[in-house]
Amino acid sequence: MHTLPPLIALILTGGLLLLALISLLFSYYMSRRYLGGMLGALKGSNYFAGWATYLPHLGWHPRYLMFAKLRGMMFWPGPGIRRGIISPDDVRNFPPQYKRLLKTQNVLDGVIIVWGTFVYLLIKL
């Protein structure tokens, strides 16, 4: 059985951890810098419009969680539309610059998942 050299395993695992840290920091940055604008673009969605009024008074953790919820709703809006959490018009008219940022975060998370799977398979096999 062939094993991966420890240095290569460390580099692959360290790269994965670095990407995960970058993803967390990018989400934090977007929750601090762009969340207000994103919530403002969702005026037809009562759930998100209500949160926009409390946003200036929230700490980092609730902002981070709200960003995660918004990101999930924009990535897969069907269930949120059916439950009345998000308006289909808001999804359609969401500003492209915010869509690009959310897509960047989703791609980064996809890369982390694929890389993690690859590293796991390399180390275990």
What is the percentage of the chain residues whose pLDDT exceeds 70? Answer: 98
Q: Which residues contact 74 (CB under 8 A, 6 or more apart)?
A: 91, 94, 99, 102
pLDDT digits (tens, 9 = 90+) for 104-121: 999 999 999 999 999 999
- CA angle 96–55–80, rounded 5-degree value: 55
Q: Which residues contact 79 (CB under 8 A, 6 or more apart)?
A: none
Residue 3 three-state SS: coil
What residue ranges do the domains of the chain occupy? 6-120
Nearest to residue 29, comparing CAs of 72, 63, 79? 63
CA distance 64 to 50: 16
Asked whether 49 and 36 are in contact (CB, 8 A), the reply is no
Lowest mean pLDDT among 36-40, 48-52, 75-79, 93-97: 48-52
Structure tokens at 48: 């998100």
pLDDT of residue 117: 95
Alpha-carbon dihedral 43, 33, 71, 28, rounded to 10 degrees:
-150
pLDDT digits (tens, 9 = 90+) for 14-47: 999 999 999 999 999 999 999 999 999 998 988 8
pTM, to two decimals: 0.85
CA distance 121 to 50: 45
pLDDT of residue 1: 47
